[in-house]
Amino acid sequence: MRAYYFDDLPGDQRLPHDSGKSVDAATLSAIGVLHWHIPVDDESGKHIEGIDAVARERDCKNRDVIVVTKESLGDEYETKIKNFYKEHMHEDEEIRYILEGGGYFDVREHASEAWIRCHMRAGDLLVLPAGIYHRFTLDEGNKSRTMRLFKDEPKWIAHNRGPETDVNPYRIDYVKSVAVA
């Protein structure tokens, strides 16, 4: 995974938007974002051991695989891509492992309000804490096959940023956790 500050220039969201300013693992950790690279090995399935270890550590009991392509989503493709790219948060950790293709997770750096763009490709696993503002888009490859890990039943409920989410208890807890760091 490669992380850097988003350039905030207009243009297709699937372009790199690379400001040239890299972001290190310590900066990501300070905002609660964790990542690992576990090479995908479809033949032996050895990568599953690494995913299982993260799942145990994060107390995840369920997982599924989502394919985001024009072919897989059909008429809903444009709507879904736009929905994923709206700034939002979740009340659960968001854990994603890229099996094939790639995309960008943009996360808000709380102190500066800057976007940090995390370019993920096959083998990258990312953990976003509950309450962090973020968004997702495909990269120029226009394809992502992603395993999603869940603590309980698979669900994806986005709370778009606004006055209501700023006072959401999960958001408040997140802000407190990064203020201490």
Annotated binding-site members for Ni(2+): 88, 90, 94, 134
Length of the chain: 181
Opening angle at CA 27, ends 25 and 28, nearest 5: 65
Residue pointed to by tokens 């290190």: 24
Kindly state the tokens that stand for 93: 């950790």
Q: How far is CA 152 from CA 17, 61, 80, 118, in A?
A: 35, 6, 23, 26
Residues annotated in a binding site for Fe(2+):
88, 90, 94, 134
93, 130 Cβ separation under 8 angstroms: yes
In the DSSP assignment, the letter for residue 181 is -
Residue ranges of the binding site: 88, 90, 94, 134
